[in-house]
Amino acid sequence: MLIAIVGKVMERLVMDVLSALRSPVVVIQEKTLELALELVTVNNVKEIVATLKKELLRSQASDFENGEAFRQRIVRAVHQVLRFAVSC
């Protein structure tokens, strides 16, 4: 839906959108992942997976708040992105 409206502009900005994952607010993290998953294209799959991987590694720090829940959300997002990549 969103990609049909703003197309290529948002596709290029998806990496900027993913920077919001660094927010400590859980709702922002969830909405960021939802939006990013809508913006996945063949052109940006590798970048998105790489960014999600970095966030996953960052979340393994012992002082990371809500680390387990965050990691689960990231892993689910990676699975969805990879399913998209396989289906293309």
Q: Is the pTM of this model over 0.95?
A: no
Give the domain ranges of the chain. 2-87
Q: Check residue 36 and give its pLDDT.
A: 92
pLDDT tens-place string over residues 4-60? 666 677 777 888 999 999 998 999 999 999 999 988 988 899 999 999 999 999 888
- Which percentage of the chain shows pLDDT scores above 70? 91
pLDDT tens-place string over residues 48-75? 999 999 999 988 876 777 788 899 999 9
Residue type, 57: L
Residues 6+ apart with CB under 8 A from 17: 10, 32, 35, 36, 39
